[in-house]
Chain A
Amino acid sequence: MKKLVSRMSIIMASVVLMVSFTACGSNKDSGGGTKSSSGKFASIEELKQKGKIRIGVFADKPPFGYVDSSGKNQGFDVYIARRFAKDLLGDESKVEFVLVDAASRVAYLESNKVDIIMANFTVTDERKQKVDFANPYMKVSFGIVSPDKAPITSIDQLKADGKKLIVAKGTTAETYFTKNNPDIKLLKFDQYTEVFAALKDGRGAAIANDNTEVIAWAKSNPGFTVTIPEFGGQDTIAPAVAKGNTALKDWINTELETLGKEKFIHQAYKETLNKVYGEGFTDSLVIEGGKAQ
C-alpha cells in the first residue's frame, strides 16, 4: 500500500510538471518568434496618465547615446528624447531609457517593450515594413575608416585584395555590402566595442559604418583616418514607433515642427556633437523641423 502511494505521488508530480512544460510549448508556437501583437501599445492619453514614456537608446555609442561615468544617459539622441518627454509629459525626468543593441531595436518595438526607439535608427524600406518611422532629425551616408599605415581609399581596393571589411550586425552598412558588394568579405560583430577592437588588432582592413560614426571615432583615435567619407547615397535617421501607432508618430512629427522653429536640433548638435565633429558639419548632418532641405 505504502509503495502504491509513493508511486502515485511520483506520477502526480510528473503530471504537474508535464502540464506546465506542454503549456510552455504550445504558447511558444502561438508566439511565433517575434510576431507583433498590434493594438497593444499605449495611447498618448495612457502615456500621460502613466506619466512615463519608454524610449530605447544606445548605451555604448557616443556621441549619440552613451552612459557617462556617473551612470547617466547622455548624447544627441538622448538630448532630443529628454525634450520629447518634457513636451509630452511636462517633465524630462519622466522618460525611462531602455538600453538597446543595434540588432534588437525592431524587436523592442514589435514586442511593445519600448514606446519610441531613438537609437540612431536609420530609415530603410525593410525596417518600414516592421516599424513606423516619424520624420527625420538627422541625415547620414556611409563612411569607411582605415589605418594610416594601410589606407583603403576605394571600395574596389577591398575587392581586389580580398581584404576583410568590419561591420556591426543589424546595421545598414551590413545590408548595403551584403546586397551591393557580395564579393567583399565581411567580418561581423554584435557589439561596437568588438568592431573597433577588431580594426585595432588588424583582424580586418577597415570599418564601414555611418559616416558620423567613423568620423567621430577616427578623430579620437590617432593613426586611423576616414579615407572614404561619403558613399552609398544619403540616409535619414528618425524616431521609430510600433507599426500602426499613428497617434504617437503624428505627435512626434508635430513636435519636430515646433522644435524646428526654435532650431532645437541645432542646439542639440551644439551641446552634444560639436566637440566630436566640429561646427563645420552642423548643416550637413542635422535636419530641422522634420523636413530635409
Chain B
Amino acid sequence: MQSLGVEVLFEGSNFERLLGGLGVTITIAFSSIIFSTLSGGIMGLLRTSAPAIIRLLLRVYLEMFRIIPILVWLWVVHFGLTPALQIEVSGEFTSIVVFSLWGAAEVGDLVRGALESLPRHQVETGKALGFSYMQLYRYILIPQAVRRVLPGMINLATRMIKTTSLVVLIGVIEVVKIGQQIIEIGVIKAPNASFWVYGFIFILYFIICYPLSRLAKKYELKWHSL
C-alpha cells in the first residue's frame, strides 16, 4: 500500500521543527503587532492634531508602505540598507523592523480614521466644559476611538501573521519554509506529503488567528451594547 504521507509529520524531529518554525512566525508577528500598536497610536494622534507639515510627512510615510510591497521592503532593508550602514543583523530582526514600520503606518491610519469619525460636537462639548487638550483626548476621544479601531486592528493583526511567510526571502526559516523542506525530502517516500504538511500548517495558522477574531467579536458585542 502506498504511504498516506501523514507520517512525515512525525518522522524524526519534523513535528518539533514545525512547531519551532511556528515559534519564529509568532515571535515576528506578535513583536511587530505590539510595536506597531504603540507607535501607530501615537502616529494616529499626530495625524489628527499635529501641524500640517507633519501630517503630510506621515501621510507620505503611510503611502510608502501601502504602495511598495512588503517583499520589496524586506529585500531592500536586508540586502541594501543594513550592509550600507555596516551593521550585521539577523533576518528575524530585519523582519520585525519592517513589519513594525508597516504596522505602524496602518495602525496610524486606523486610529486617524477612528478619531475623525467621532462627531464634531464631542470635541466642542469637551472644550465648552473646560477640558484641556490632553483631557479631551484622554477622557473623550481615545476611549471612543479604541472601540472603532478594534475590528480594523484585528484584521491587520491576522494579515500580519499570514504575511510573515514572506520572510523566507531574507533567510528566515519560519513554519512554511520548514514545511517545504519536509515536503522536498519526502517526495520519494511520500509524494502526498505536501497535502498533509500544508494541511497541518493551515491548522497552526488557524489556531493563532481564530482566537483573535473571537476576541474582537466579543469586545465588539460588549461595547456595542454600552
Contacts and interface: CB of A to CB of B under 8 A. Distances in A.
Interface stretch (B46-54, B142-150, B151-159): B46-54
Contacts of A111: 78-80, 82-83
A175 interface: no
A37 B84 contact: yes
* Chain B interface size range: 35 or more
B191 to A, nearest CB: 7
Nearest to B10: A69
Interface in A80-122: 98-101, 104, 107-108, 110-113
A204 interface: no
B132 A59 contact: no
Interface of B: 8, 11-14, 17, 42-43, 45-46, 49-51, 54, 57, 61, 75-76, 78-86, 88, 132-134, 168-171, 173, 177, 180-185, 187-188, 191, 194
Given A31-B81, A221-B191, A18 B54 contact: yes
A66 interface: yes
B86 A40 contact: yes
A68 B49 CA distance: 56
A160 interface: no
A136 interface: no
A59 B80 contact: no
Interface of A: 2-3, 6-7, 10-11, 13-14, 17-18, 21, 27-28, 30-35, 37, 40, 59-62, 66-71, 98-101, 104, 107-108, 110-113, 190-193, 196-197, 217, 220-221
A193 B46 contact: no
B61 A6 contact: no
B184 A62 contact: yes
A31 B76 contact: yes
Contacts, number: 130
B184 A60 contact: yes
10 closest residue pairs by CB, A with B: A69-B12, A31-B84, A111-B83, A220-B188, A31-B80, A60-B184, A107-B79, A111-B79, A70-B12, A14-B54
A10 B46 contact: yes
Nearest to B12: A69
Given A17-B46, A71-B17, A221-B191, 15 more contacts: A3-B133, A7-B133, A14-B54, A59-B181, A60-B184, A61-B184, A62-B184, A66-B181, A66-B185, A67-B185, A69-B182, A71-B12, A108-B171, A192-B184, A221-B187
Contacts of B183: 60, 193
Contacts of B75: 34, 104, 107
A104 B79 contact: yes
Contacts of B170: 104
Given A59-B177, A104-B171, A37 B86 contact: yes
B132 A3 contact: yes
A33 B184 contact: no
A225 B170 CA distance: 34
A60 B79 contact: no
A212 B156 CA distance: 44
Given A14-B46, A66-B181, A6 B194 contact: no
A220 B193 CA distance: 14
18 contacts: A3-B133, A10-B45, A11-B51, A28-B80, A30-B84, A31-B80, A31-B85, A60-B181, A60-B183, A61-B184, A67-B185, A68-B12, A69-B13, A69-B182, A70-B12, A104-B75, A111-B80, A113-B171
Contacts of A101: 168-169
A28 B76 contact: yes
Contacts of B173: 59, 99
Contacts of B194: 193, 197
B17 to A, nearest CB: 5
A104 B169 contact: yes
Nearest to B91: A113
Nearest to A66: B185
B184 A98 contact: no
Contacts of B180: 60, 191, 193
Which of A3, A10, A98 neighbours the largest number of chain B CB atoms within 10 Å of its CB? Answer: A10
Nearest to B8: A69
A13 B47 CA distance: 12
Contact of A100 (B11, B83, B171, B184): B171
A3 B130 CA distance: 11
A60 B180 CA distance: 7
Nearest to A75: B185
A17 B187 contact: no
A27 B169 contact: no
Contacts of B82: 111
Which of B12, B54, B61, B79 neighbours the largest number of chain A CB atoms within 10 Å of its CB? Answer: B79
Given A6-B133, A18-B57, A13 B11 contact: no
